[in-house]
A and B are shown apart, each in its own frame.
Chain A
Amino acid sequence: MHLLYQIFIDPFVQMGSAPDLLAQTLWEGLVAGVLYSLIALGFVLIFKASGVFNFAQGIMVVFAALTLVGLYAHGVPAFLALGLTIAVMLALAITIERFVLRPLVNQAEIILFMATFGLTYILIGAGELIFGGDPKVMISDQLLLPNGAYRIQMLGGFVQMQKIDIAAAIIASLMVVGLGVFFQKTRIGRALRAVADSHRAALSVGISLEYIWVVVWFAAGVVALATGIMWGARSNVSFALEIISLKALPVLILGGFTSIPGAIIGGIIIGIGEKLGEFYWGPLFGSGIEEWFAYVIALIFLLFRPQGLFGERIIERI
């Protein structure tokens, strides 16, 4: 009886009695969620266009951030380093298309999936070889990202907002809007959606698959770079970041593998759910709940909507 009270009543009493703490938790959840959304977005882009579940998305985040920091450490000015890193992500996309995707075209999805595993280890190896394995500090000041925090008085207390978190939320929103416009309104965007729908038909109207693959992997690379900068600025740049890509899995299950709005809403639900779970229900389980709570949320959603919140309905004609 007491346990049921602790699970179902007590956390809500706490939320009601200290709304400022609730607001703080929600804000932190939102920020974490926005970053999960960005990672999930990278997955969705590639999955939509090539049907490949790109396990290497997490390491691409690390690789992009390491390249940026590494170039700066070698004396390249910050914004030039940013430009060069974008160029490196383009070169990476071209290389992946040429040496991984093209030879494996028309192979089963599981084979392409395994190939992205291989890619993950190549990038880890290359990253450690070139930049070393020790954690590095993101050059957020040099990139003119704000630091410090706002303390806002509200709800009978204070809510603290890190400026970098606010910047992350704004940049992530801009990227999402930009990608949305790009997908819906441009010729290349139309071609991307066309390839996502039917490879055969896309080929027949003169769309080159090779070109589209380079475009999506490059877009995913730029998203990875943005994620790496934001995440790196909150902690630091190390290979441990790769683990966060596993957090994208529950986000994708929630949002559906093919939906950009799904990735965003899914990310925010997971982020907020995680922080609320950690703060209000965590003590019950001796904390550490953040590690696995996201998967529980995803599991509950799977029971009711196997195709995800925004995934394409699975219609089987008999």
Chain B
Amino acid sequence: MRAPSGPEVAVGEVLLSVENVSLSFGGVKAVSDVSFDIRKGEIRAIIGPNGAGKTSMLNIINGFYHPQQGRITFKGQTRSEMKPHEAAYGGIARTFQNVALFRGMTVLDNIMAGRSLKMSAGFVWQLLRFGPAMREEVEHRLRAEEIIDFLKIQEIRRVPVGRLPYGLQKRVELGRALAMEPDLLLLDEPMAGMNIEEKEDMSRFILDVNDHYGTTIALIEHDMGVVMDLSDRVVVLDHGVKIADSTPGDVRKDQAVIDAYLGVAH
């Protein structure tokens, strides 16, 4: 059940493009006719007021929602529908707005779960914990430990994540997504509910991920300061419609964006 991982995309080239995508639930239009692209190696922010369709957009990209119209091209392959686990195999990882971790499992197990798609030892070997399955466990355990070191969560690796404070849970969730070694990392409000110190830590991790691993990142964020600091380009949605798409500096001066945020009557 392995989706082809597709051709390599050079830095600066378009990694993912969304063309004329529309999605509605019953009569409610969540996203209408939105197009934008994400280039390899950049940090792309998706911003907008509440209900603008940002999370819907992420859900479309990783296959949770299937748009009624439009095309999505990822690594040169166009598709209109993709299942979430196919998106994951294709190289798209994500985190969630309100943290979706495996709460009963330890930090280490959560991160190892992120590596499960890289593991392939047969069922019988796994049961015996022998031969290829054992080699594989050890090898992937090493990668998991690297990520744990990277995110500085060594002390809590054996703790069930349900017991961790919210800020750390968000960090573990980032770790699980990183364990998938994604080409495209989708972060849905990675700093929601954090205090300033936690936000600074998370910002640094995001920049480091982008820098060290060269991972392309698309993030949704409400804190405009954070968006300005982190992102290379920003796309702004309002009521499901794209109203701006430019650099952070330009977007901040854009009259339509200011109106959307301050609530000018349309």
On A, residues with C-beta under 8 Å from B are: 178, 181-182, 185-191, 193-194, 196-198, 200-209, 211, 312
Contact across chains for A198 and B103 when beta carbons are under 8 A apart: yes
Q: How far is the CB of B122 from chain A (nearest CB, A)?
A: 10
Contact across chains for A205 and B88 when beta carbons are under 8 A apart: yes
Contacts of A190 in B (CB 8 A): 105, 109, 112-113, 116
Contact across chains for A204 and B93 when beta carbons are under 8 A apart: yes
Q: How far is the CB of A47 from chain B (nearest CB, A)?
A: 14
Contacts of A189 in B (CB 8 A): 126
Contact across chains for A194 and B105 when beta carbons are under 8 A apart: yes
Contact across chains for A203 and B64 when beta carbons are under 8 A apart: yes
Bound Cα distance from A206 to B127, whole angstroms: 21
**Contact A201/B102 with A181-B127, A188-B126 known, Cβ cut-off 8 Å:** yes
B96's partner among A186, A201, A209, A312 (CB-CB below 8 A) is: A201
Bound Cα distance from A241 to B110, whole angstroms: 40
Q: How far is the CB of A33 from chain B (nearest CB, A)?
A: 26
Instruction: Known A-B contacts: A190-B112, A312-B104. Give 4 more (CB < 8 A).
Output: A181-B129, A190-B105, A202-B113, A205-B177
Contacts of B94 in A (CB 8 A): 204
Closest residue of chain B to A189 (Cβ to Cβ) is B126
Can you offer 30 A-B residue contacts whose CB atoms are under 8 A? A181-B127, A182-B127, A186-B123, A187-B116, A187-B126, A187-B133, A188-B123, A189-B126, A190-B109, A190-B112, A191-B113, A191-B116, A193-B102, A194-B113, A196-B104, A197-B101, A197-B104, A201-B96, A201-B101, A201-B102, A202-B102, A204-B84, A205-B176, A205-B177, A205-B180, A206-B84, A207-B85, A207-B113, A207-B116, A208-B83
Contacts of B89 in A (CB 8 A): 206
CB-CB contacts below 8 Å: B48-95 with A: 62, 64, 83-85, 88-89, 93-94
**Contact A186/B101 with A204-B62, A204-B84, A206-B89 known, Cβ cut-off 8 Å:** no
**Interchain residue pairs A-B with the least CB separation, the first 9:** A206-B88, A206-B117, A201-B100, A203-B84, A197-B102, A186-B126, A208-B85, A200-B100, A194-B113
Bound Cα distance from A147 to B166, whole angstroms: 58
Task: Check if B194 is an interface residue, CB within 8 A of chain A.
Answer: no
Contacts of A194 in B (CB 8 A): 102, 105, 113, 116
Contacts of A201 in B (CB 8 A): 96, 100-102, 176
Contacts of B129 in A (CB 8 A): 181, 185-186
Q: How far is the CB of A217 from chain B (nearest CB, A)?
A: 16
Bound Cα distance from A178 to B128, whole angstroms: 10
Q: How far is the CB of B139 from chain A (nearest CB, A)?
A: 12
**Contact A198/B102 with A191-B113, A203-B84 known, Cβ cut-off 8 Å:** yes
Task: Check if B1 is an interface residue, CB within 8 A of chain A.
Answer: yes
Contacts of A211 in B (CB 8 A): 1
Contacts of A203 in B (CB 8 A): 64, 84-85, 88
Q: How far is the CB of B211 from chain A (nearest CB, A)?
A: 24
Bound Cα distance from A206 to B129, whole angstroms: 22
Q: How far is the CB of A262 from chain B (nearest CB, A)?
A: 14
Residue among A190, A191, A197, A206 with max Cβ neighbours from chain B (10 Å): A206
Bound Cα distance from A190 to B105, whole angstroms: 9
Bound Cα distance from A127 to B105, whole angstroms: 40
Contact across chains for B93 and A205 when beta carbons are under 8 A apart: yes
Contact across chains for B180 and A206 when beta carbons are under 8 A apart: yes
Q: How far is the CB of A191 from chain B (nearest CB, A)?
A: 6
Q: How far is the CB of B249 from chain A (nearest CB, A)?
A: 33
**Contact A193/B105 with A188-B126, A204-B93, A205-B117 known, Cβ cut-off 8 Å:** yes
Contacts of B123 in A (CB 8 A): 186, 188
Closest residue of chain B to A215 (Cβ to Cβ) is B123
Contacts of B119 in A (CB 8 A): 187
Residue among B104, B129, B179 with max Cβ neighbours from chain A (10 Å): B104
Bound Cα distance from A185 to B112, whole angstroms: 11
Contacts of B109 in A (CB 8 A): 190, 193
Task: Check if B41 is an interface residue, CB within 8 A of chain A.
Answer: no
Q: How far is the CB of A218 from chain B (nearest CB, A)?
A: 11
Bound Cα distance from A247 to B179, whole angstroms: 44
Task: Check if B121 is an interface residue, CB within 8 A of chain A.
Answer: yes
Closest residue of chain A to B112 (Cβ to Cβ) is A190
Contacts of A191 in B (CB 8 A): 113, 116
Contacts of B85 in A (CB 8 A): 203, 206-209
Task: Check if B114 is an interface residue, CB within 8 A of chain A.
Answer: yes
